[in-house]
Amino acid sequence: MKSVILIDCNNFFVSCERVFNPSLEGKPVVVLSSNDGCVVSRSQEAKDIGIPMGAPAFQWEHIFRKYNVHIFSSHFSLYADMSRRVRETVRSLCEDSEQYSIDEFFVYCPDDKDYREWCHTIRQRIMQWTGIPTSIGIAPTKTLAKIANKIAKKNKSFNAIVDWQRDIQDHEAMLESIPCSDVWGIGRRYARFLLSRGIENARQLRDADEAMIKKNLSIVGLRICYELRGISCISLTSLQAARKTLMHSRTFGKMLTDYDELSQAITLYASFAAYSLRRHRLVASAITVFIRTNRFRDDLPQYFQEKTIAIIPPSHNTLFIIETAQQALKSIYKKGYHYAKGGVIFTGLCPEDAAQHSLFPSKYTKQHYHNAIKAMDSIVMRYGKKTLYPASCGVQRRWLSKAALCSPSYISSFNDIPICHAK
């Protein structure tokens, strides 16, 4: 039987902060979502205090103070770069690997050997080359590898590596101890449904009636049952699938009522997203703009609306895209609401060199527009995002998201490079 190995970075965002600030070791640390809203990463010490995932920061402030919790805003460019370093390290050791998320990697092994020694080497090298601690699960299927990984994280006696076949003696008892909601692919809705049918744990889910599962949890649920039995249904996709959507959205730093301010925000997001398209060498064939009020404020009238407009011909030209985005916003904006969040979503992505040309080209397909965008990008690349931007993005930007507690740009800004003092 073949094996799947899941390498998972421990408390990834917190671990990234610790690499550059070792004094945080052993202390409770949390990283907040953008706009400093919710807790999205916790050190073990923070978990031990009882701070849950997703905790709204403002509700937990007194706990943060009481236990002297170190708090950081999300620093995504830093985490993305650290993720790239871990990926390169994994690739240096594993031929067949797949990056599943920013902090997880599946590795495929051709036969059923004892991989523990090798996994120790992988952990050690990732730690040595990147400073990021990891946990590893080994099993016949991805779903079981996820479970093995979870056991490795929870139970320190395994030394961070668990082989489902070799290290777990009583598989029935182990599966019975795992609630359905802890199984990969079973979310809140499905867990509630399963519970209503008397299916409480992974063992019962594994043995559940197939027709009933397929009918209510679709083919996805049935695959999970098979995977729990050790029959692999979720294959390893070592080739990076083409991206299908690209989105940029933010909660505003304050609620907006004014159309001009809202338009500035949407324009800025659209220009960031267009830049992202160009970096990925993609063009989009449609843009969706959405705006919404604060869903937690039931004392205020609620409004959510979105509008999709085709981009013909498909483009990544910032000027064309912001013109289209503004047109979309105009059609959905309603006066009198307090807007809390907005964004743009690109769909119908295709590689820039494979895009369909239009019979009636827009003015933006002309060469001097390409040249202008190219010049803008090179200035931004060299001097940073804040040096040059369309005037319609606004200058004051009182609506910008909060990120008050962001760590320095250790690896992307010369001014922030850490300095070591030898004694």
Beta bridge partners of 31: 41, 72
Mask for 133-172, x = binds DNA (CB under 7 A): -------------x--------------------------
Candidate segments 118-126, 159-167, 315-323, 340-348, binder of DNA by CB under 7 A? 340-348
Question: Does 356 sit near DNA (CB under 7 A)?
Answer: no
Look at the block and give the residue holding tokens 């013909």.
312
One residue of 7, 126, 246, 266 binding DNA per CB under 7 A: 246
Q: How far is the CB of 295 from DNA (least distance, A)?
A: 8
Indicate whether 184 belongs to the interface with DNA (CB under 7 A): yes
Q: 70: which 2 tokens?
A: 């170190």
**Smallest gap, in angstroms, from Cβ of residue 187 to DNA?**
2
- Say if CB 12 and CB 53 are below 8 A apart: no
Interacting residue with DNA among 82, 186, 270, 328 (CB under 7 A)? 186
Contact between 401 and DNA per CB under 7 A: yes
Give the range of 42-50, 87-95, 152-160, 185-193 binding DNA by CB under 7 A: 185-193
Residue from 247, 227, 230, 259 nearest 338 by CA? 259
* Least distance between DNA and beta carbon 37 (Å): 3
- Which CB atom, from 8 or from 118, has the smaller least distance to DNA? 8
Q: Would you call 94 helix, strand, or coil by DSSP?
A: coil
CB atoms within 10 A of CB 222: 18
We find the least distance from the C-beta atom of residue 179 to DNA, in angstroms, to be 12
Q: How far is the CB of 188 from DNA (least distance, A)?
A: 5
Query: What distance in Å separates the CA atoms of residue 204 and residue 176, rounded to the nearest whole number?
Result: 7
Among 22, 23, 58, 65, binds DNA (CB under 7 A): 58
Distance CA 299, CA 65 (A): 30
Which DSSP string corresponds to 238-283? Answer: -SPPPP--EEEEEEEEEEE--HHHHHHHHHHHHHHHHHHHHHTTEE
Q: Is 92 in the site for DNA (CB under 7 A)?
A: no
Alpha carbon distance 149, 163 (integer Å) = 9
Task: Report DSSP state, residue 27.
Answer: S
Question: Among 5, 90, 136, 191, which residue interacts with DNA (rule: CB under 7 A)?
Answer: 191
Instruction: Find the shortest distance in angstroms from Cβ 23 to DNA.
Output: 26
- Told to check if 38 binds DNA by CB under 7 A, we report yes
Pick from 77, 101, 257, 327 the residue near DNA by CB under 7 A.
Answer: 101
Instruction: Report how far Cα 148 is from the mean position of its chain's Cα atoms.
Output: 22
Nearest to 85 by CA among 420, 411, 413: 411
Quote the tokens at residue 324.
């289209």
Alpha-carbon torsion (164, 168, 171, 173), positive or negative: negative
- Comparing CB distances to DNA, the nearer of 314 and 343 is 343
Which residues of the shown chain bind DNA in the complex (CB under 7 A)?
A: 33-35, 37-38, 40, 54, 56, 58, 100-104, 146, 184-191, 218-220, 241, 243-251, 255, 276, 294, 296-297, 308, 340-341, 343, 401
